[in-house]
A and B are shown apart, each in its own frame.
Chain A
């Protein structure tokens, strides 16, 4: 159990239990390192990682950058607002130009589904998906899994409920693939305009329209961020009705287990998908998720780079 089967991290659909286990176990070791006074290890010394972000991101990019720096990699940040993409350069040309500067790993975020795979098909670099459209956000799901294992010991047999805008959520998609692979029971719940209609290929999860039923047996609840644009697009009538119907509130949690974990990928719309008293309450592990994000990303980068070095 020392090398990943995957060469890149595009998503968690199709990733084996072996690989997810390896990433989580390595992340636990990096998690310990993050508690030390000196948080840096030399694992990626001499390697260059480019953070290629075509979409705005603060926490994911910062988390990746910290992970890279703590692995002693050289890092370069490339955002579409300051790049040649603005001048009309194609994605492939952008990548090839960056690659010509002898980089090793590209962490990419893009609005388009499949961009990480597209880049891997057109480059020799190791590609890590930091979010592609509404497709996948694998490191977010891995950090969610790490947080649940940290708090509950295992994912096997645990009930995880994801509430909110499933249709547009890359976090939900990555979680449903990853968590079911690791033996968790995943329940998805959201307004009918915000859940996919065609779920034949997502048949390992339970779809529940009643949020009270969805949270009843949950060991962990992940509330998804609700984008304001969903109102503009007539997918929902109001934030108020959403909060009253699908928000994670004190009243809703009276239907759930006492020690249910409350999780959120951030940034939170307080008083919409999550009430403040819940976000800051005893059951909340949201800041643990943030810390675990760095550890998981260190593990992913370390293992993928190791796979290349051993090839």
Chain B
């Protein structure tokens, strides 16, 4: 349905939610009136939030379209209220302009705003430089090697030095492989009690510090994905004080969980960047409040059922989040931050990091929005998810809020 009239809805306009009103959404824009035959929907006072932008999308296609496809991913985005996202596949390195062009063509069929990171090394191997200039010319908004650690400092220097010609930002998940040493979970009291191989905080801070020093030396902008501990945020703050252009995000699930969840031994909690202590989780929240953290990331990473229906340590890491992110997090966000900051973290800032125009709700202009009832709980059931995967740590749990519908790219989807 392209045209819809939302009755009794509270749109987010100019940094705040307006009183309940009527919105006529016609051909992708907020119009004064709607043509006859438009669908009417009673929003019952629900919030119309600018659609979200997801940092960290991995739809697996084309190499692993047996797991998930762009069609599944776009379906998930429509269910979860995302009008766009930054795509970076851990399986498919986009390391030349042909690959970039091919994936852009797949993405273009679906009409949402998806930006792409190019790899800075061929095949994420940290041995040969990718053709970064051509990737940038083809539309790559920055460079990253998936979740791989680039511990070869000379190669890192050369990649950033060569890539600096493009002016693009380099994206890293800071985790030193040597210190990680096959660890899967945070090195803390829960891992030690369970006897699990673990990742100390210094695996993150040492990797982050090396990258920050390189960024300072070469004057290259960098972004840290999925920062998981307070110490890394302190390093980022210190680096900014001396002029390093560094941005960062925290993953949605790192705001919801800490390592106490390990006692469940549920393989859905096995994610690439481990959930750290309750103190770290609090430090991330404080980073949202203080502004050190630029954005909240989604890191939608589908994993097949058979790769999760195993014991924790043998599971493939990764979690999906597009369908549940907003109803899971909105109330907590608004409990500690203003609604305007919440929208900034989930929508405006991630889009700006990806160089995409942020969604906004303004009468007379394009409207991409998600309709959220903040006070009606939703149970997370398998049917909520697009595609065949279900690897969500929130499966079976109750979320505090409920998405009623989304209006994205001129298409109304009732959820």
Please tell me if the beta carbons of B311 and A113 are within 8 angstroms of each other in the complex.
yes
Candidates A118, A135, A200; contact of B195 at CB < 8 Å? A135
Rounded to whole angstroms, the CA-CA distance of A13 and B263 in the bound complex is 11
Q: Kindly state whether residue A261 has any CB partner on chain B within 8 Å.
A: no
- A231-256 CB contacts (< 8 Å) to partner B: none
Please tell me if the beta carbons of A198 and B309 are within 8 angstroms of each other in the complex.
no
Q: Kindly state whether residue A306 has any CB partner on chain B within 8 Å.
A: no
Q: Given A113-B311, A113-B312, A114-B312, verify A133-B189 contact (CB < 8 Å).
A: no
Interface bin, chain A: 20 to 34
Please tell me if the beta carbons of A91 and B195 are within 8 angstroms of each other in the complex.
no
Q: Given A113-B196, A113-B265, A114-B265, verify A198-B191 contact (CB < 8 Å).
A: yes
Rounded to whole angstroms, the CA-CA distance of A114 and B265 in the bound complex is 6
Q: Which residues does chain B contribute within 8 Å of A117, judged by CB atoms?
A: 265
Could you give, for residues 178-205 of chain B, a 1 whenever the CB lies within 8 Å of some chain A CB and a 0 otherwise?
0000000001111111111000000000
Q: Which residues does chain A contribute within 8 Å of B313, judged by CB atoms?
A: 111-114, 133
Q: Kindly state whether residue A110 has any CB partner on chain B within 8 Å.
A: yes
Could you tell me how many residues of chain B have their Cβ less than 8 Å away from some Cβ of chain A?
18
Give chain B nearest CB distance to A119 CB in angstroms. 9
Could you give, for residues 191-208 of chain A, a 1 whenever the CB lies within 8 Å of some chain B CB and a 0 otherwise?
000001111111000000
- A96-115 CB contacts (< 8 Å) to partner B: 110-115
Please tell me if the beta carbons of B192 and A202 are within 8 angstroms of each other in the complex.
yes
- A148-207 CB contacts (< 8 Å) to partner B: 167-170, 173, 196-202
Candidates A90, A133, A201; contact of B193 at CB < 8 Å? A201
Could you give, for residues 36-69 of chain A, a 1 whenever the CB lies within 8 Å of some chain B CB and a 0 otherwise?
0000000000000000000000000000000000
Q: Kindly state whether residue B310 has any CB partner on chain A within 8 Å.
A: yes
Q: Kindly state whether residue A221 has any CB partner on chain B within 8 Å.
A: no
Candidates B189, B194, B314; contact of A199 at CB < 8 Å? B189
Please tell me if the beta carbons of B191 and A90 are within 8 angstroms of each other in the complex.
no
Give chain B nearest CB distance to A243 CB in angstroms. 25
Rounded to whole angstroms, the CA-CA distance of A141 and B116 in the bound complex is 54
- A109-147 CB contacts (< 8 Å) to partner B: 110-115, 117-118, 122, 133-136
Q: Which residues does chain B contribute within 8 Å of A91, judged by CB atoms?
A: 310-311, 314
Q: Which residues does chain A contribute within 8 Å of B190, judged by CB atoms?
A: 201
Binding site for A on B (CB under 8 A): 187-196, 265, 306, 309-314
Q: Which 5 A-B pairs have the closest CB atoms?
A: A134-B195, A114-B265, A196-B192, A112-B311, A198-B189
